Amino acid sequence: MARAAALAIALVLVALLPWIGTPTLVQFAINALLLATLAQGWNIIGGYTGYASFGNSVFYGLGTYGTAVAMTTYQLPFGVGLAIGAVLAVVFAIVLGIPVLRLRGHYFAIATLGLAQVMTAIVSNLEIAGRNVGIVMPLLKGDTLFLELSLALLVLATLAVWWISRSRFGYGLIAIRENEDAAQVMGVNVTMYKVLAFALAALFSSLAGGIHGYWITFVDPASAFDITLNVKMIIMAVFGGPGSVLGPVIGALLLSGVSEVLAAQITSLASVFFGMVIVIAVVFMPHGLADLARRFKRLGVRYFGENVRTNRL
C-alpha cells in the first residue's frame, strides 16, 4: 500500500514538472520517460518471452517515420500520425515476426539486428521519407504536451506489463522463456504468443518514436533506427531487472540520470565509464537490480561472488 502511494506521488510530481521544474529538467524527463517506455517494450519480448530482440529500434523508427510522413506529406494531425505509425509498426511486427521468431537464441538477436540495418537502408532510399536527408517537422513551441504524453505512455506500458505478469498470456510467455518445447507440448500456442508479444513491444516502441520525432522536430534514418538506442534499452531493462514490472523503469531512469550528469561533465570519459558499468554489471549482477534488491538482504556482498561463481568457466 505504501508502495502504491509512493508511486502515485512520484507520478503526480513528474506530471507537474513543466510547472515546478526547469526546462532542462523537463527535457531530461522526456528523454528518460521515453527510454523507460522502450525498455518496458523490450521487457515484454526480451524479459518475459526470453527473445532478446535487437530490432525494437525498427518499430521505434517506423513510429517516428509514420508520424512524420503523416504530418508533413499528408498534413494530418499529430494523434492520427501516431496511430498510423503504431499500425505500421504492429503490422511489420506480425509480418516479420512470424518467420524471424522461429529462430532461437542469438540467431534471433542477429536476425533482428540485420532487420534494423535493412530498414535503415530502405528508408534512406525512400523518396516519401525524404531519403537520407530526413524530414523536418512542424515546430510546436513548448514541451508540456510531450512530457505529459511520454508519462502517459510509460504508465500505459507499465500497466500492460503488470497485466501480463498476472495473466495466462504472461504465464505462457514465461513458459516459452523457460522451456519452449515443453510449453508447446503443454498446449501453449507458441507462435501466436510470441508474435503477440512482439507486436505489443512494437506498439509501445512506435508510439515512443512518434512522440520523440515530433518533439525533436527533425527525423532522419540514422537517428530514427539507431542501433545504440536499441542496445541502451536492452541494457536498461537488463540492469533494472528483466521479467519484472518496475525493474526496467528504474533501470532506465537511473542509467539516464547517471548518463546525463556524466555527459554534462566530461564527455568521452563518460562513455568509457558507461561501457565499464555494463561490463561490471553483467559480471556481478546479471539478473538486474530487482534481483539484487531481493537477494542482497540474505546474501550481502556474497551475492556478487555467487553470480561470478555460477557463471565462470
Residues that bind another protein (CB under 8 A): 22-24, 27, 31, 52, 99-100, 102-103, 105-107, 109-111, 113-115, 117-118, 120-122, 124-125, 131-134, 136, 139, 141, 216-218, 220, 223, 227, 231, 234-235, 238, 257-258, 261, 263-265, 267-269, 271-272, 274-279, 282-283, 286, 308, 310-313
Contact criterion met (CB below 8 Å) for 60 and 209 = yes
C-alpha cell at 150: 511520454
Question: How far apart (Å, rounded) are the C-alpha atoms in residues 257 and 231?
Answer: 17
Q: How many CB atoms lie within 10 A of CB 272?
A: 11
**Smallest gap, in angstroms, from Cβ of residue 43 to another protein?**
14
Cβ atoms of residues 125 and 245 within 8 Å:
no
Closest to another protein by CB, 158 or 259 = 259
* Residues 6 or more apart in contact with residue 86 via CB below 8 angstroms: 63, 66, 203, 206, 207, 210
Beta strand ranges found along the chain (DSSP E): 135-136, 218-219
Within 8 A by CB and 6+ apart from 259, the residues are 270, 274
CB of 187 to another protein, least distance (A): 25
Q: In terms of CB distance, is 71 or 234 closer to another protein?
A: 234
Report d(CA 7, CA 1) in Å as an integer: 10
Tell me phi and psi for residue 307, to 5 degrees. -60, -45
Residue with Cβ nearer another protein (83 or 130): 130
Burial class from Cβ neighbours inside 10 Å (0-12, 13-18, 19+) for residue 22 reads exposed
CB of 227 to another protein, least distance (A): 7
Closest separation between CB of residue 110 and another protein, Å? Answer: 6
- Which of residues 40 and 124 has its CB atom nearest to another protein in the complex? 124
Helix axes 288-299, 227-240, angle to 10 degrees: 30
Pair 43, 161: CB distance under 8 Å? yes
Nearer to another protein, 24 or 189 (CB): 24
The smaller minimum CB distance to another protein, of residues 73 and 167, is found at 73
Q: How far is the CB of 222 from another protein (least distance, A)?
A: 8
User: Helix crossing, 23-42 with 144-166: angle to 10°?
Assistant: 30
Q: Write down the least CB distance from residue 36 to another protein, Å.
A: 17
Nearer to another protein, 199 or 224 (CB): 224
CB of 159 to another protein, least distance (A): 27
- In the complex, least distance from residue 69 CB atom to another protein, rounded to whole angstroms: 16
Choice between 117 and 184, CB closer to another protein? 117
* Closest among 56, 107, 94, 110 to 234, alpha carbons compared: 56
CB atoms within 10 A of CB 115: 19
